[in-house]
Structure 1
Amino acid sequence: MKPSLPKSAGKALLLLSVCFLLLSKSNAQAFIFGNEKIKFEAGLNFGPSFFLGDLGGNAGKGKNNLKDLNLEFTKLMKGAYITMYPNKWVGLRLAASLTYLEGDDATINTNGIDELWRKQRNLDFRTNVWEVNGAVEIFPTMIFSNDPENEPRLRPYGLIGAGVFHFNPQGSLKAANGDKIWYDLHKLRTEGQGMAEYPYSKPYQLTQMNVLYGGGLKYYLSDRVNIGAEFLYRKTFTDYIDDVSQKYIDPRNFAKYLPAGDAALASRLYDKTIGIIYPGMTRWPEGTQRGDLKNKDTYFSVIAKVGFRLGPIYESSFARSAARQTRCPSVY
């Protein structure tokens, strides 16, 4: 699936890049904020991301929580960030990232009847996710740190923020040779979105807001470079990252609203039932539950980070010279 950068995320990413270039190419003089100077840091991050939604899961009823985490669909998230530190215990961060999410009912492990209903549904999806977010970082151990000469290298932190993300779910059909061919689902209105026959089913937007929160650890290798690890959970306000949310519709309605080619695709992709509970069954009746509207889709990441302090580390040439003189001597 070839990533395509949406306009809204692209503009924010461009702004992030411009800020980074301006800050890194300037003399990076620190700004005064109260009695402290604002510092800037830029960095990269990468690590696994995970999806929790309607498709896939494990034994038992679908709960849209860690019980239904499918590790086989672990994907790589990668991104960049820039953070402004008005003081040593709070940071204001702007970040951009790209990841890939996937789910498949065929992977569900079966121990009883509850999960068989979902496995029989036999739907799958994949999507790229572009994200731009802003967050506030809080370093609790630094609030009471009054000795700048002995500040801890290891610093835990919590963070909370909000972002914008863009997705575009695809579903698959098998070709004659057994390979999967993927098709965009949004335009196919698989649950009757926008059709007069289903007034409860509204069209969904591919660019959405999310709320994120989490925490991490940062370790300073030097005054200039730090590394860290971070857990970040995204609460979304859509149940359509996987294009599954509500009920099955009458497939004859596709022809009323879609071009002939799309209508034919939609009638094959919206319901791929295989007869597990009911052998020989290939379609669910109109109005049968297809997804769980009560639980919105979510995703989260566990990432490694490397950060670089921008601009001068010391406030003056005198402070830099003093720091050099107090270092331990080197032995050759």
Structure 2
Amino acid sequence: MWKVQKHEYTLQLGASNFLGELGGRDQIGSDFLWDLEFNQTKFAGSLSYMMYLGERVGIRAQGGVQRVAGNDNTTTEIFRQNRNLHFRANIYDFTTTIEFHIIKEKYGNLYNLKSNLGKKLGLKKVNVGFYTFFGLGGFYFNPQAQNPSNGMWVDLAPLGTEGQGLEGGPEPYKKYGVIVPVGFGLRYGLSREWGIKLELAHRFTFTDYIDDVSTVYYDNDAIANAYGSQAAYFANPTLNIIPTYTDGTYEYNPTKAGMQRGDPTDRDGYMYAVLGVYYRPRATAKGRYRGGSRRIKASF
């Protein structure tokens, strides 16, 4: 059947989430799913086209958009709370993946048709299919933070919040990169051509700047002199809830220049869970019909 239905088109809508430095669990050192913050879930959507290479394998091209966000005020971990950073970013990605149908969905009869003898045509039940995929792609992101004085969302990359472009600071980061998409899903056939699917996927990236946070604090006065007071604020909006002086004696300042602001060894990532509708049209050719009966003229 796959040679007759080699092409598939899918629309997917659902939710996305972010795995990075900001927000997260109420403890330091949680990684991957263990650092997921569900109250920062945002929207996701995509369109895709797949060409089947065989009965159980296809190559899929997909374009998607998702919003991700993180906020240190969602955690009770004191160092993250004191850091007080937040962000949002719209991510636009394009991926090419190989999809493997481990279990093929089977189709019942959409119209409950019967033969001349009263026997039901088609399968007695509809089975759910299972698939997995992986591939390669590219993405673009633009982290922003909200100015508390006027409510406006500000692009963070030009502000050099970790001293980008200044003496001894890192190079400005690129707002695009390579991603490795992996995931799996369930398929349920409504008919020979239409079906629905549930898909979960993760995008591994090679950047740590989707949230504009990666390395250490830079001298805040130097940032203010070079990029202005707004840049200095977003570089270090600390709440100062961790004491730095006791009885006039210096003890600890977790947000001074050189102290840890992020974790450059742990790359950012994002994921989505979506519901989709797919359409797999049957090819038409001379002598082939999509439905109905075909009359045959007898000749003697």
Instruction: Confirm or deny a common fold (TM above 0.5).
Output: yes
Look up the equivalent residue of 1:162 and give its one-letter code.
L
Residue 248 of structure 2 corresponds to none
Maintained 8 Å contact 2:224/2:231: no
Q: 1-side partners of 2:287 and 2:264: how far apart?
A: 59
Task: Describe how 1:241-320 pairs up with structure 2 within 5 A.
Answer: 241-254=210-223, 258=226, 262-278=227-243, 284-312=255-283, 316-317=287-288, 320=291
Deviation for aligned residue 1:322: 6.2
Shift of the 180–58 alpha-carbon distance from structure 1 to 2, 3 Å rule, reads farther
Cα-to-partner distance string for 1:232-269 (whole Å, 9 max, x where unaligned): 0110100000000000011233356x4xxx42211111
Residue 83 of structure 1 corresponds to 50
Cα-to-partner distance string for 1:16-56 (whole Å, 9 max, x where unaligned): xxxxxxxxxxxxxx9xx9xx456101120011101110000
Q: 2-side partners of 1:255 and 1:163: how far apart?
A: 37
Q: 2-side partners of 1:204 and 1:50: how far apart?
A: 22
Shift of the 315–61 alpha-carbon distance from structure 1 to 2, 3 Å rule, reads farther
TM-score (norm 2): 0.82
Residue 94 of structure 1 corresponds to 61
Shift of the 241–315 alpha-carbon distance from structure 1 to 2, 3 Å rule, reads farther
Maintained 8 Å contact 2:83/2:236: yes
Look up the equivalent residue of 1:169 and give its one-letter code.
P
Cα-to-partner distance string for 1:102-124 (whole Å, 9 max, x where unaligned): 1110111x2xxxx2111100001
Task: Describe how 1:146-157 pairs up with structure 2 within 5 A.
Answer: 153-157=127-131
Residue 138 of structure 2 corresponds to 164
Maintained 8 Å contact 2:284/2:290: no
Residue 19 of structure 2 corresponds to 52
Task: Show structure 1 runs of 5+ residues with no match.
Answer: 1-29, 143-148, 324-332
Cα-to-partner distance string for 1:78-127 (whole Å, 9 max, x where unaligned): 1111110122200110111111111110111x2xxxx2111100001011
Maintained 8 Å contact 1:46/1:305: yes
2:180 aligned to 208, 211, 217, which one?
211
1:189 aligned to 160, 184, 187, which one?
160
Residue 119 of structure 1 corresponds to 81
Q: 1-side partners of 2:286 and 2:32: how far apart?
A: 48
Q: 2-side partners of 1:215 and 1:128: how far apart?
A: 23
Pair member with larger Rg: 2
Aligned-residue identity in percent: 33
Root mean square deviation of aligned Cα:
2.8
Residue 4 of structure 1 corresponds to none
Deviation for aligned residue 1:66: 2.0
- 1:266 is paired with a residue whose SS is helix
Maintained 8 Å contact 1:224/1:313: no
Q: 1-side partners of 2:147 and 2:195: how far apart?
A: 46
Deviation for aligned residue 1:314: 8.8
Q: 2-side partners of 1:294 and 1:316: how far apart?
A: 61
Residue 74 of structure 2 corresponds to 107
Q: What is the aligned length?
A: 272
Maintained 8 Å contact 1:241/1:297: yes
Q: 2-side partners of 1:249 and 1:191: how far apart?
A: 5
Q: 1-side partners of 2:24 and 2:151: how far apart?
A: 21
Maintained 8 Å contact 2:142/2:210: yes
Shift of the 217–277 alpha-carbon distance from structure 1 to 2, 3 Å rule, reads same
Structure with bigger helix share is 1
Q: Which runs of 4+ in 1 moved over 6 A?
A: 149-152, 279-283
Q: 2-side partners of 1:56 and 1:131: how far apart?
A: 24
- The reply to whether residue 240 of structure 1 matches residue 209 of structure 2 is yes
Q: 1-side partners of 2:233 and 2:26: how far apart?
A: 27
- 2:94 is paired with a residue whose SS is strand
- 1:61 is paired with a residue whose SS is coil
Deviation for aligned residue 1:312: 2.9
Maintained 8 Å contact 1:247/1:288: yes
